[in-house]
Amino acid sequence: MKYQWANRPRTYLSLLLGSAFLPVPVLAMAVAAPSLQASATPALMLAKLWQVGQNPSAFLVSEKLDGVRAFWDGQALRFRSGRKIAAPAWFTAALPATPLDGELWLGRGRFDELSGIVRRRVPNDAQWHTLRYMIFDLPGASGSFGERAVQMVSVVASAKVAWLQTIEQRRVPDSAALQHQLTQLVDAGGEGLVLHRADSLWLPGRSDALLKLKPVPDEDARVIAHLPGKGRFAGQMGALLLELPSGQRFALGTGFTDAKRAAPPPVGATVTYRYRDRTPSGLPRFASFLRVSEAE
């Protein structure tokens, strides 16, 4: 991957705080991003973080799959960004007219392999036969989540294809049982848990009715610049300048392989990072790159 100096270079501080600081070169991609088949970002429910001390008894609990989020709008299968997924015709032909929200999944610990399959512009039939579409909600449907969970089972059963499945939802009586379930799941190679209030109506956007619980929290942010590397990373990406949904910005410089530094996520992409806690201003501490999540 070749790089060129941006026409209007900035320092880390100028990117973060404005033009009051003297500029230095910033790396920019020398090649244009490939055209994507896009549509408006779909309105989906998004999870907040589970807070210690909450009572889980009002929630239905399921495994948080390390898959690629996929929204079926009744006609096309799309990433969370709205970009169309190039799925085989037999795969989409078997899906119902009902909108579906779920994860394309290969199994625990196989995200990178899965991502390679679903990002192909020309789908590989044999590879698509190895994955499953795991449903966890019916976007826009009426009724409580408990009622929608029952409806999902019926919708999936009517499709009569083995690769379309629902994610199992369970009741957990208390915090001790929730922690025990999380520990067992993580020990078995799982990523974490999702908790959805059983009495909640479907509502797009981030909601206290939908929460995720992981041993180490992670969140998404948008890439707004590539910051140049130094030392052995000279001529490569040294860090990504990320923008949080709040508008705050920070530089993410750890967790990248050499291959990822040579071909970093493009400006505009969404990435997932892990972190330990937050600063008083709300920025993540000890953040580390996890994956490109534009295809969630």
- Just list the catalytic residues: 64
How do 68-72 and 100-105 pair as beta strands? antiparallel
- Tokens 């989540």, located at residue: 145
Question: Containing H/E element for 182?
Answer: helix 175-187
φ, ψ for residue 261, nearest 5 deg: -70, -35
Q: How many residues does the chain have?
A: 296
- Taking the C-alpha atoms of residue 262 and residue 221, their distance in angstroms, rounded to an integer, is 20
Cβ-count burial of 257 within 10 angstroms (0-12 exposed, 13-18 middle, 19+ buried)? exposed
- Taking the C-alpha atoms of residue 198 and residue 146, their distance in angstroms, rounded to an integer, is 5
Amino acid 186 reads: V
- Taking the C-alpha atoms of residue 102 and residue 135, their distance in angstroms, rounded to an integer, is 4
